Amino acid sequence: KRLAVFVSGGGSNFRSIHEASIAGSILGDIVVLVTNKRGCGGAEFAREKGIPVIPFPKTKDEPDGVPPTDLVATLREFEVDFVLLAGYLKLIPVELIRAYPKSIINIHPSLLPAFGGKGYYGMKVHKAVIASGARFSGPTIHFVDEHYDTGRILAQRVVPVLPEDTAEELAARVLREEHSLYVEVVAALCEDRIMWRQDGVPLICSKE
Ligand code: GRF
């Protein structure tokens, strides 16, 4: 399968998916990287690996950013099958969601539907989890719809929130799980191991 990854930051999830793809544990290739921050670590890594980088959307910092319809056309040119959001902080335009039904997934660093939505990104998520007194947190991978963090949940992992945790410590514990969970889910996606329950909930089938 042919994968597009979207990043805004360091891109550690992108790196681990790339590594798994090179190692052959994901039967897919990252053919294009999309970013709203050309200078971010993720974009830097893509250039090092010879993966084409597309700026999106157009902003003051990214005057060369492509319009949504051109982005869809570009992904089609690259014959992209799946879009993986990995720390991409902008809303996905409806044009793209319509063009790739059931094919766009995101990773979020809390157990959705808790601590999700527009204001919840980066350290804010982990600070809110700690402030709430919740004893568990962990990453969620979900399909993407027109809103932030509301699409169908596909996979989750649980980690403890320890009494003395700082947001940074909790973030690191969650991020470690993100890397292996994302690789597992993308491997399933590339092997067509996602089944849709009648009520619309997606399930991952294990390998026989
Ligand atoms: C991760 O915590 C992810 O859940 C969130 O943004 C962070 C991205 O980290 N959406 P990285 O850029 O993959 O290192």
Counting residues of the chain whose pLDDT is more than 70, the rounded percentage is 100
Distance 122 CA to ligand 1 centre (A): 7
Residues 151-208 have pLDDT tens digits of 999 999 999 999 999 999 999 999 999 999 999 999 999 999 999 999 999 999 998 7
* Ligand 1 cavity residues, CB under 6 Å: 7, 9-14, 42, 86-87, 107-109, 139, 175, 178
Distance 13 CA to ligand 1 centre (A): 6
Helices marked H in the chain: 12-23, 41-48, 68-77, 94-99, 123-132, 167-190
Separation in Å, CA 159 to CA 117, 152, 164:
21, 21, 15
Residues 98-150 have pLDDT tens digits of 999 999 999 999 999 999 998 999 999 999 999 999 999 999 999 999 888 99
Q: Could you identify the atom of ligand 1 that is nearest to the CA of residue 108? A: 4
Rounded-to-integer distance, Cα 153 and Cα 142, Å = 4
Domains defined along the chain, listed by start: 2-204 (3.40.50.170)
Q: Are 161 and 170 in contact (CB under 8 A)?
A: yes
Residues 136-151 have pLDDT tens digits of 999 999 999 988 899 9
Residues 30-58 have pLDDT tens digits of 999 999 999 999 999 999 999 999 999 99
Q: What is the pLDDT of the chain when averaged over all its residues?
A: 96
pTM > 0.90: yes
pLDDT at 141: 98
**Is-catalytic flag, 126?**
no
Q: Could you identify the atom of ligand 1 that is nearest to the CA of residue 106? A: 10
Q: Could you identify the atom of ligand 1 that is nearest to the CA of residue 85? A: 10
**Three-state secondary structure call for residue 128:** helix
